[in-house]
Amino acid sequence: MKISIVQMDIAQGKTAENANKVAAMVRKAAEEKPDVILLPEMWNTSYSFENLGELADRGGRDTEALLAPIARASGVNIVAGSVANKSGSKVFNTLFVFDRGGRRIAEYSKVHLFRLMDEHQYLSGGDSLCCFELDGIPCGAIICYDIRFPEMARSLALSGCKLLFVPAQWPRPRIDHWRKLLMARAIENQMYVAACNRVGNEGDNEFTGHSMIVDPWGEIVEELPDGAEGILCKEAEIDNVDVIRREIPVFEDRRPSVYDLR
């Protein structure tokens, strides 16, 4: 599977500007004819928390209107990062997935809200995992802070996922954690991880990218540079997942009755 990752800056609260930029960068990424394009977290509003009620998408309609036609015209799957998304009276941090025909085939609302950036005060957390198929490949998605919870990625792997998508807004002071956690999730679950982190400054926070693809051995296949906008496009040899899982049979050797944490 050829994966394209869009690493970009996001204008806080400027939904029209962000939508235009996303559309342009997705079209540019599609020129390389990838199988799937991945976007960053909260690209429609970023952390414009005070205005989320007015700025948020409504049921993903704006996101679908923007990206479904591009997916259909380009014949590419799009894991549309995540957006501030209003459902009823609540706002969620929601990821949408569109297939090559522009059909919305999956969505996931961030389960773990990051208290250090006050997400829990303005957003509601999701309560379910996200598994879907792209071109017959079992995939899963989590968002940013979720990577600190290994149970999530393991649950997705146990459901059969071979490729994990991770959109994020991960700041510079903990960028080493970002890189190491992504590698750890890939190694322990013997699956590919495709992760997209934004760049740019917002208030006191600096975001430095380091979007990457990690293989099931935990090796970085390719990584975008620190602080710069750009597009990564690289092939992921998904068949290697089955080879590695047979070589080191982690899932067969599990003993959950010993360490069940519930």
pLDDT at 259: 86
139: its two tokens:
């995939």
Domain boundaries, given as residue ranges, for the chain: 2-259
pLDDT at 116: 85
Q: Could you tell me which CATH class the domain 2-259 is placed in? A: alpha beta
DSSP 128-184: S--EEEETTEEEEE--GGGGG-HHHHHHHHHTT--EEEEEE--BGGGHHHHHHHHHH
Give the mean pLDDT of the chain. 96
Cα distances (Å, whole numbers) of residue 89 to 72, 93, 122, 164, 186: 31, 14, 11, 30, 36
Query: Catalytic residue numbers?
Result: 41, 110, 144
* Strands 36-38 and 212-214, bridge-based pairing: unpaired
How many CB atoms are located within 10 Å of the residue 188 CB?
14
Q: Say what percent of the chain tops pLDDT 70.
A: 99
Instruction: Say if residues 63 and 44 touch (Cβ distance below 8 Å).
Output: yes
Residues of the chain with pLDDT under 70: 261-262
pLDDT at 261: 67
